[in-house]
């Protein structure tokens, strides 16, 4: 199905919620180090509840390792400055939905990386900084999945 890529996530509860999201949708979750927590963190475990064993989660030591593992997939980088509205993308199974760290979002060099197919944004009211990371990933993933009739079939 689809793949979520969190670049250096900082808050354990967001990643725990993303683990749960991956488990209930059949998506893969990919994390790029450094992580702002370890997998024994109680907030991560609580947010993920008992879904940890049901999710496909891969931790990559750096972005280059993630690109190598995910290639040749299309990569949609979610950022408040995205040029395309998330509902305007025709998602394909195997697409990667990329999100940056909670405190700063995607760094400029990732927004223009050669692996990026397009920068994408979620609509928000003016003068609002951002949505919660796990909520943003949920909105994007469910739109991609909806476009495919909520088809099952496991991970890509």
Please tell me the distance from the alpha carbon of residue 38 to that of residue 144, in angstroms, as a whole number: 29
As a whole number of Å, the end-to-end CA separation of the chain is 5
DSSP state of 117: S
User: What local confidence, expressed as pLDDT, does residue 154 receive?
Assistant: 47
100 is in an annotated binding site: yes
pLDDT at 7: 98
Question: In angstroms, what CA-CA distances link 46 with 7, 14, 103, 147, 151?
Answer: 21, 11, 22, 31, 28
Identify the three-state secondary structure at position 107.
coil
Find how far residue 36's CA is from the centre of its chain.
16
Superfamily of domain 3-146: SPOUT methyltransferase, trefoil knot domain (3.40.1280.10)
Q: How confident is the model at residue 27 (pLDDT cuts 50, 70, 90)?
A: very high
- Is 16 annotated in a binding site? The answer is no
Quote the DSSP letter at residue 35: P
pLDDT band at 153 (very low <50, low <70, confident <90, very high): low
Q: Which residues contact 54 (CB under 8 A, 6 or more apart)?
A: 23
Residue 65 marked as a ligand binder? no
Closest by Cα among 23, 113, 122, 135 to 66: 113
pTM: 0.92
Check residue 48 and give its pLDDT. 58
Give the pLDDT confidence of 99-118 residue by residue, as tens digits: 999 999 999 999 999 999 99
Domain boundaries, the chain: 3-146
The H or E element spanning position 30 is strand 28-32
């Amino acid at each position: 199905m689809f793949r979520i890529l969190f670049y250096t996530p900082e808050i354990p509860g967001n990643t725990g919620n993303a683990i749960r999201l991956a488990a209930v949708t059949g998506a893969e979750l990919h994390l790029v180090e450094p992580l702002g927590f370890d997998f024994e963190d109680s907030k991560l475990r609580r947010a993920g509840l008992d879904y940890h064993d049901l999710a496909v989660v891969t931790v990559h030591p750096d972005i280059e390792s993630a690109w190598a593992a995910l290639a040749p997939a299309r990569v949609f980088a979610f950022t408040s400055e995205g040029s395309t509205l998330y509902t305007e993308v025709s998602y394909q199974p195997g697409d990667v939905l990329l999100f940056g760290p909670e405190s700063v979002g995607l760094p400029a060099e990732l927004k223009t990386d050669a692996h990026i197919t397009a920068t994408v944004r979620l609509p928000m009211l003016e003068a609002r900084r951002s949505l919660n990371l796990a909520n943003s990933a949920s909105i994007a993933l469910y739109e991609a999945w909806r476009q495919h009739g909520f088809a099952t079939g496991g991970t890509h």
